[in-house]
Chains A and B, each alone.
Chain A
């Protein structure tokens, strides 16, 4: 079955750059969307399409895609960026939305 694969955990030093990746066959046909979820809060969309940020999302968040891999990059990571990050995409084999397993980002 189609799936999206993410590293379970990533850490980054305060102020440094971190890349979170998402791999899956569906990404060859569809852009990933990226979500940030902090404890006790609903997920929030941070990136979608080729490299689009919803209103209010800082420009330190950026995205890219190549082949079957989508990436979320945070440049100059802040303490408040510590959260779980999820990618998702449309799966046109099963006509469903699929989520990656999530990446827990720790800011050191």
Chain B
């Protein structure tokens, strides 16, 4: 089974960008679906978007599609999430998660999660 390890805590200024990485080991990577999910303090889980590496295409939540970019590097088995124009409301723990089946309409079943990356946005 795949294991996901994320990059460390990030502290950012409003208006800047952050890139979080998610490195996979074991299992399959290229044919899986990698989603990014965040949880802000006092809020619930929010799906940000996903990529199926072998397809090279990503889908994004409408609310974030102008600010988020998800990419994947098959050679290093690493997925990336970049969020731009950061604001205080983006302060959250960000998770990557791998779906059981790498098909778009089955991406909601995420059986492996990274450990989470705390992103704090403050002036």
Asked if B109 and A102 make an inter-chain contact with CB atoms under 8 angstroms apart, the answer reads no
Contact pattern, A 76-108, Cβ under 8 Å of B = 1, otherwise 0: 000000001010111010111111111000000
Q: Which residues of B contact A48 (CB under 8 A)?
A: 100, 109, 111
Interface check A43, CB cutoff 8 A: yes
A40 to chain B, nearest CB (A): 9
Q: Of residues 70 to 123 in B, which have CB atoms within 8 Å of A's CB atoms? A: 95, 97, 100, 104-111, 113-116
When chains A and B are docked, how far (Å) is the Cα of A88 from the Cα of B47?
A: 9
- The number of A-B residue pairs with CB atoms under 8 Å apart is 67
A86-B45, A88-B47, A96-B61 given; A42·B111 CB < 8 A: no
Residues of A within 8 A of B40 (CB): none
| Nearest residue, chain B, Cβ from A42 | B113
Contact A33–B108 (Cβ < 8 Å): yes
Contact of B104 among A42, A89, A90, A100 (CB under 8 A): A90
Residue B32 lies at the interface, judged by CB distance under 8 Å to chain A: no
CA distance A42 to B93 in the complex (A): 9
CA distance A92 to B100 in the complex (A): 19
Determine if A33 and B109 form an interchain contact, defined as CB atoms under 8 angstroms apart.
Answer: yes
Q: What's the least CB distance linking B50 to chain A, in Å?
A: 7
Q: How far is the CB of B61 from chain A (nearest CB, A)?
A: 6
Give Cα A73 to B67, complex, Å. Answer: 38
Size category of the A interface is 20 to 34
- Chain A residue numbers with a CB within 8 Å of B61 are 96
Contacts of B21 in A (CB 8 A): none
Answer yes or no: A44 CB below 8 A from chain B CBs. yes
Known A30-B105, A97-B47, A99-B37; 9 more pairs at CB < 8 Å? A32-B108, A35-B45, A37-B45, A43-B110, A90-B104, A90-B107, A92-B105, A95-B59, A96-B60
B contacts, CB < 8 Å to A: 35, 37, 39, 44-47, 50, 59-62, 95, 97, 100, 104-111, 113-116
